[in-house]
């Protein structure tokens, strides 16, 4: 039997106490982690995942998404309207979502001079936008208001497409020429026009 004053006995006692403290600390840590994970778990099932996306259109479903033309030059408005259309299309894919609900949500997110423009409309014109038969109809009307008729842009793109020329065999120049041609080709619906299709290929 070991004596309490024996150095070996003292060391064994301290060692056992240290192991016990370590195990208790690990157990407390595990309990804390379990508690945190249970708090983050929805009562209906999967854990809540924090939103790590930015405030741009990539966070399409977030309530922080706003639509404005104030932060870009006029030349890029067409691209911004395409982003708006894409957001509306994504919202429309959600269950139980209707055209009217998407249009209302979209119009509520307008900011900057887009908001000023919409607020300055008379009630009748606001109702025309709100009661558009489809999201596409609403977006086309909005596009026409700020960028002009789509048909007019197609006519310009068609003319530019047939005037495009590349007199260089440099791969970079050829690639740039192809990108310019392809951009106009799809805008004017070249895939449905055999004459244009032959011109690009």
Q: How far apart are CA 146 and CA 125, in angstroms?
A: 15
The residues that bridge with 67 in the sheet, in sequence order, are 110
Q: pTM above 0.75?
A: no
pLDDT at 157: 72
pLDDT at 72: 87
Q: What is the pLDDT of residues 135-147, one digit of tens each?
A: 989 988 888 888 7
pLDDT at 24: 67
pLDDT at 174: 81
Q: What is the pLDDT of residues 108-121, one digit of tens each?
A: 999 998 999 999 98
pLDDT at 57: 43
pLDDT at 160: 78
Buried b (16+ CB within 10 A) or exposed e, 100-136: eebbeebbebbeeebbeebeeeeeeeeeebeebeebe
For the chain, which residues score pLDDT lower than 70?
A: 1-63, 149-153, 187, 195-201
DSSP 10-73: HHHHHHHHHHHHHHHHHHHHHHHHHHHHHHHB-TTSSBPPP--S-SSTTSTTSTT--B-STTS-
Q: How far apart are CA 69 and CA 162, in angstroms?
A: 31
Q: How far apart are CA 42 and CA 20, in angstroms?
A: 35
């Amino acid at each position: 039997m070991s004596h309490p004053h024996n150095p070996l006995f003292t060391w064994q006692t301290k060692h056992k106490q240290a192991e016990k403290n370590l195990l208790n600390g690990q157990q407390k840590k595990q309990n804390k982690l379990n508690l945190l994970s249970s708090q983050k778990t929805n009562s209906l099932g999967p854990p809540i995942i924090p939103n790590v996306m930015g405030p741009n259109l990539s966070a399409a479903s977030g309530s922080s998404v706003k639509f404005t033309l104030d932060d870009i030059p006029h030349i890029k408005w067409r691209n911004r309207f395409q982003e708006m259309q894409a957001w509306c299309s994504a919202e429309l894919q959600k269950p139980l979502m209707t055209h009217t609900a998407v249009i209302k949500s979209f119009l509520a997110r307008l900011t900057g001079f887009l908001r000023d423009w919409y607020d300055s409309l008379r009630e009748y014109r606001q109702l025309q936008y709100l009661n558009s038969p489809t999201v596409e109809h609403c977006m086309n009307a909005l596009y026409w208001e700020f960028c002009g008729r789509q048909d007019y842009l197609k006519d310009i793109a068609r003319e530019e497409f047939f005037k495009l020329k590349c007199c260089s065999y440099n791969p970079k120049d050829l690639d740039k020429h192809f990108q310019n041609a392809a951009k106009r080709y799809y805008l004017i619906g070249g895939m449905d026009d055999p004459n244009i299709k032959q011109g690009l290929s």
